[in-house]
Amino acid sequence: MVIGLIVVILLPFILGIGLYLKSTMLLENQSLFKLLFSSDWRPLAGKFGFLTFILSSVWVTVVSLLIAGPICLLTAIHLTQYAKTWVLRLMHPVIDILAGIPSVIFGVWGILIIVPFISDYLGPFLGKQVSGYSILAGSIVLAVMIIPFILNILIEVFKTLPDELREASLSLGATKWQTIKLVLVRKAFPGIISAFGLGVSRAFGETIAVLMVVGNVTTIPKGIFQPGYPLPALIANNYGEMLSIPMYDSALMLAALVLFIVVMLFNLGSRFAISQLEEKE
C-alpha cells in the first residue's frame, strides 16, 4: 500500500521530469520566453513559436466553459432542488452514458452537425462567411464533452449540503429561489469552483474531438469564427511522423510539457481557491 501511495505521489514529477529531459535540446538552442511568446512556427527553418497554439487552447477552453458552466450549474440546481427523485435517478445513467461516449464520436458529430450549422446558418445570419471549422465549433463540441464531467461533480456537491440550511432559510421567510441563490449556492461555492477547475483541466487537454472541428490553422485566432490550432492537436497531428527530426521531436515534447504544467496549475489553483474559501467560512 505504501509503495502504491509513493508511486501515485511521484508519478506527476516523473512525467514532468521526463518531458523536460526530452525538451532540453530545444531549450538549449532557444530561450523559453521566445518559444512561448512567438507565433513564428516554421519547424524546417528552426522556428518554434508556441503562442498560436497556446492562445488557441485558451480560446477553445474558455468559450467551452462559458457554454457548459451555466448549463451544468442550472441543471444541477434543478435536479437536486426542484426535480422529483425519480428524475435524478433517471438522469444519472444518462449522464454516465454521455461521459462514456468516445471522443471521436463527438468529433464526427461536430463535423456532421456543428460545422455545417455554423457555416450555413449561424455565420450567414451574423453576416460572416466562415467555413465552420472554427474556435466556436471546437468549443461547442468540447462543451458537450465536459458537461457530464462537471455536472456529476455539481450534483454530488449539492446533494451533500445539509437539509438544515434549507429548512432554516425557509423558516425565516425566504423563498425557495432565495434560499438556493443566497444560501445553498454560497455554501456550495468551493465545490462549484472545484468542479469548474477540474472541467477546465479536462477541456484544456482534450485532443481528438477538438482536432477534428477546430480547423488546425497556424494563425492566432482573433474571434470565435476563426480556425485555431490547440496544443493537443499540434502534438497529435505531428508526433508520429516527426520522430526522425530531433529538434521537431524536442519541440513537441516541450508542447506536451507546457500542456502538462498548465493543467497542473489549473488543478492547484482550484484547490488553493477552495482552501481559501473554506477558511473564510
For residues 143 and 108, the answer to whether their CB atoms sit within 8 Å is no
Q: Which of 220, 180, 272, 204 is nearest to 55 (CA)?
A: 220
pTM for this entry: 0.88
Alpha carbons 116 and 96: distance in angstroms, whole number: 28
Q: 41 pairs with which residues across the strands? A: 48
Q: How much is the average pLDDT of 20-41?
A: 84
What does the block give as the cell for 184?
A: 445553498
Question: What Rg value do the Cα atoms of the chain yield, rounded?
Answer: 22
Range from 4-8, 31-35, 144-148, 220-224 carrying the lowest mean pLDDT: 4-8
pLDDT confidence of 147, banded at 50, 70, 90?
A: very high
- Percentage of the chain exceeding pLDDT 70: 95
- Give the single-character DSSP code of 45: G
Instruction: Name the amino acid, one letter, at 115.
Output: V
H or E stretch including 156?
helix 135-159
For residues 266 and 201, the answer to whether their CB atoms sit within 8 Å is yes
What does the block give as the cell for 146?
A: 465536459
For residues 95 and 71, the answer to whether their CB atoms sit within 8 Å is no
Instruction: Name the amino acid, one letter, at 173.
Output: G
Domain ranges of the chain: 50-250
Q: Give, in order, the Cα–Cα distances in Å from 253 to each of 234, 235, 259.
A: 11, 8, 10
Q: Return the CATH class of domain 50-250.
A: mainly alpha
